[in-house]
Amino acid sequence: MKLLFKQRVFSLFGNFDIYDETGAELYHVKGKFAFGQKLIVHDINGNPIAKVRERLFTIRPQFKIYEGDTYIGKIVKRITLFTPKFKMTFSNWTVKGNFFQLDYHILSGEKVVATISKEILHLGDTYQINVADPNDALRALLVVLSIDAAKQRRDRRRSTNFHS
């Protein structure tokens, strides 16, 4: 299953639309900022079905993951030198990115659960997610939201340090 993840241009808190390979809308993501970033995934009828919530005051970026209102675990960015890596506490998944942080693989052991590619030359962030099992699509989307939020956190820190 293929998902296309597009950030709405001029979105202050990170609003995204998610489409399938035919162009049909599957999800809408609405971002809020309340002591850290909070991203709420809605189905096409506007019902909230999942959320990602940034944990503050941590050395490494961490995000709490909810399906509905049920906390299922967290995603933690690991400390690495050249390539980004993330670990999930709610599954045996890990995420490995490339040096340029444009391509990622979600792995369950050695098995590829999904591949993520950030497309360049777009006004807003655009990702393509290829998921092997459609049942993993929502959780793969939550991973991408966490990766994007971690990048934004890094960029905020860099701009704050640069201007200090």
| pLDDT tens, residue by residue, 70-79 | 999 999 999 8
Res 123: pLDDT:
62
DSSP assignment of 70-131: EEEEEEEEPP-SSS-EEEESSSSEEEEE-TTSSEEEEEETTEEEEEEEEEPS-SS-EEEEEE
Locus of tokens 């299953």: 1
Distances (CA, A) of 159 to 12, 57, 122: 17, 18, 22
| pLDDT tens, residue by residue, 111-141 | 999 999 988 765 667 889 999 999 999 999 9
Res 100: pLDDT:
83
Confidence of residue 99 (pLDDT cuts 50, 70, 90): confident
- For residue 100, what are its two tokens? 């340029």
- For residue 4, what are its two tokens? 């296309």
Burial 66-96 (b: 16+ CB within 10 A, else e): bbeeeebebbbbeeeeeebebebeebebbbe
Q: What is the mean pLDDT of residues 133-150?
A: 92
| pLDDT tens, residue by residue, 21-60 | 999 999 999 988 767 789 999 999 999 999 999 998 888 8
* CATH no., domain 2-159: 2.40.160.200
Q: Looking at the predicted structure, is the pLDDT value of residue 163 above 50?
A: no
Q: Looking at the predicted structure, is the pLDDT value of residue 6 above 60?
A: yes
Mean pLDDT, the chain, rounded, equals 86
